[in-house]
Amino acid sequence: MTAPVSPRGGIRLFGFAVAGLGAFTLTASSSAPSPLYPVYQQMWGFSAAVLTVVFAAYVLALLAALVTVGALSDHVGRKPVVIVSLLALTVSMLVFIAAEDAGWLIVARVIQGAAMGTATGALSAAVIEFQPGPRIGPLINTTGPSLGLALGAACAGLLVQYAPFPTVLVYALIAVLALGLAVAAFFVPETSPSVGFESWRQALRSLLPSASVPREVRAPFLLVLPSLVSAWALSGIYMSLGPSLMESVFGIDNRLAGGLIIGSLFTAGTVAAVLSTRRAPYEVVVVGGMFLTVGLAMVITGLGVEQVVLYYLGTVIAGFGWGATFLGAMNVIGALGAPAERSRIFATTYVVCYLAFSVPAMIAGVAAGAFGLTATAVGYGTIVASVALGSGVVLWFRRPVTPSRMQKVPEPISAAGTS
């Protein structure tokens, strides 16, 4: 067993920056291909059904990694898991650059999804363990993914529309950033005990698919589950079919506009997370659900009357709800469990998030072929809004366990070395 160090001062901030930027880079890379999907369809002539396969490949690989090696850093330490994941992300970007047909896209997305799923629990836990203040970690674990998704899509749309080499440049930039962070991670101290495995049998058994949380934290975890599902189901439809909706409903084929609609959703979510940091977590989840419901009502109306301004405004309001809901839930979850269980809890949380992110969106992709894109989007939005509203009402009236009764995240070590 290798004991972790207790980082302090500058090295603590360095580790926090590397972990936060690592989470940001991984999520930015996941949304970067979205504005390029219509370009690839025009280049290679594949259908919307194939597009949903490309989308599904990423999520399925991510989920497979989450349920097998998502908690690996609790055994071997955070550093090796993060470094290997960032190197795998670099490889996936090179495959994107070399892509010649949809098959290459699927391979790239599989590698990318595996990297994301492997690193998610380790990075989320590392952010908590390096945090310079008790509220900073949950904030970064929320704003990092949302800001990454926003900037990844928006910057990719900008580069695709106006920069040279549209199918190369964005991936090259991400590859350079991921490789640089992998090198930087070598110099970050380890914060988790490397307990290893008692035998090869135990190591292999740990790779069996599993997703669970400790029994004592299941009640608060399950209570915020429907809210998480509604928020991530919303993001899934935007990531997979958002740019296509801009083109088919509003006749806007500008790739920057397609990226901005995704960017608007997640930028608003980032703002909501920042503004909600000092609020009671359960109240933040409830308020987020209300914003999400109102925003989706505006989105549905905008699609029905073909008013792109209303569509954008509704997206921003719904995105604000997405960010508040996610932050509130992560604040609840971040206070649960012992340090040795934290990676497992975060990994399980993201399994739920990405299932909600992928499965409904894939169903919507199939339904669009039968009912049309607009009708599918309207029906999808109505269902998500209903779940958000219902879960918010349940949380409001139940008044569950207060955060003061939960196990608190340990106070960060100050520059002087005191707790």
Among 20-34, 263-277, 332-346, the least confident range: 332-346
| Residue with the larger pLDDT of the pair 129 and 412 | 129
From CA 256, how far away is CA 233, in angstroms rounded? 23
pLDDT(415) > 50: no
Nearest to 109 by CA among 148, 38, 55: 55
pLDDT digits 0-9 by tens, 371-391? 888 888 899 989 999 988 888
Task: Please compute the mean of the pLDDT values over residues 87-116 and round it to a whole number.
Answer: 94
Residue 409 inside a domain? The answer is no
Would 206 be classed as within a structural domain?
no
Confidence (pTM): 0.72
Q: Are 419 and 134 contacting, i.e. CB atoms less than 8 angstroms apart?
A: no
| Residue 402: per-residue pLDDT | 43
Q: What average pLDDT is seen over the chain?
A: 80
pLDDT at 183: 95
Domain range for 326: 9-189+214-404
For CA atoms 323, 22, 110, 350, the dihedral sign is: negative
The CA-to-CA distance between both ends of the chain, in Å, stands at 24
Token output for 320:
């604000």
Cα torsion through 240, 242, 244, 247, rounded to 10? -170
On the question of pLDDT at 412 being above 70, the answer is: no
Average pLDDT over residues 299-305: 89
Does residue 135 form part of some domain? yes
Query: Does position 403 have pLDDT exceeding 50, yes or no?
Result: no
Is residue 198 included in any domain, yes or no? Answer: no
7-11, 219-223, 225-229: least confidently modelled range: 7-11
Residue 297 is predicted with a pLDDT of: 93
> How far lies 45's CA from each of 40, 49, 50, 165, 374, in Å?
8, 12, 10, 20, 22
The listed range with the strongest mean pLDDT (21-35, 94-108, 113-127, 278-292) is 94-108
- Res. 410: pLDDT tops 80: no
Q: Is residue 128 part of a domain?
A: yes
DSSP H/E element including 43 = helix 37-44
Q: Which residues 6+ apart lie within 8 Å of 100 measured at CB?
A: none
Confidence tier at 42 by pLDDT (50, 70, 90): confident
* Cα Rg of the chain (Å, integer): 20
Which of 31-40, 196-205, 348-357 is the most confident on average?
Answer: 31-40
Q: Is residue 419 part of a domain?
A: no
Asked whether the predicted pLDDT for residue 418 surpasses 50, the reply is no
Average pLDDT in the 273-279 region? 80
Would you state the structure tokens that stand for residue 21, as one six-digit string?
Answer: 């930027």
pLDDT attached to residue 319: 92
Query: What domain count does the chain have?
Result: 1
Reported as type and span, the H/E element at residue 303 is helix 281-305
Whether 412 is in a domain gets the answer no
Q: In the prediction, which pLDDT does 207 show? A: 54
In whole angstroms, give the CA distance from residue 333 to residue 224.
Answer: 9
Burial of 270 (0-12, 13-18, 19+ CB in 10 A): buried
- Count CB atoms within 10 A of the CB of residue 256: 18
Top mean pLDDT of 73-87, 108-122, 337-351 is at 108-122
**CATH number of the domain encompassing residue 333:** 1.20.1250.20
Asked whether residue 416 is assigned to any structural domain, the reply reads no
Task: Kindly give the residue spans of alpha helices, DSSP state H, lying in 163-217.
Answer: 169-185, 200-206
DSSP output for 328-339: HHHHHHHTSS-G
Lowest mean pLDDT among 165-169, 199-203, 233-237, 341-345: 199-203
Least trusted range by pLDDT, from 96-110, 295-309, 329-343, 400-414: 400-414
**Between residues 54 and 169, the one the model is more confident about:** 169
In whole angstroms, give the CA distance from residue 252 to residue 317.
Answer: 21
Neighbours of 370 (CB within 10 A): 8
Higher pLDDT, 327 or 287: 287
**pLDDT score, position 292:** 93
Q: Cα–Cα distance between 124 and 23 in angstroms, integer?
A: 8
Q: Please compute the mean of the pLDDT values over residues 383-400 and round it to a whole number.
A: 82
Strand, helix or coil at 194? strand
Question: In degrees to the nearest 10, what's the CA dihedral of 92, 94, 95, 100?
Answer: 150
